[in-house]
Amino acid sequence: MFKNKVQRNSQEEIVDYLKTTSFMSENEIQRGVWGYYRGGSRESNKKYAEILRRALYSGKIKRVRMKIHGIDKRMVFRYYI
């Protein structure tokens, strides 16, 4: 009946992305997986942030608070497998 299926965003896309790249920030994951850039989009961040947090709480991915020298002086969360 419905031929045009909408591609669903999933936690597995995040897991697959983090298998090839590690210690990425939330913004880098959203840009790499879905092509979503917070600063240049009118679309809400909520949908993508919720998928990331569900993957974190279910134990599929982990995060650590890191300070990256030379790039930024702030402490940021980095996600990994």
Boundaries of domain holding 63? 11-80
> Can you give the CATH number for the domain in which 41 is found?
1.10.10
Q: What percent of the chain has pLDDT over 70?
A: 86
Q: Does the pLDDT value for residue 3 go beyond 70?
A: no
- Residue 6 lies inside a defined structural domain of this protein: no
- Using only C-alpha atoms, the chain has a radius of gyration, in whole angstroms, of 14
- Residue 57 lies inside a defined structural domain of this protein: yes
Mean pLDDT of the chain: 86
pTM of the model: 0.81
- Residue 4 lies inside a defined structural domain of this protein: no
Q: Does the pLDDT value for residue 26 go beyond 80?
A: yes
Domain count of the chain? 1
- Residue 32 lies inside a defined structural domain of this protein: yes
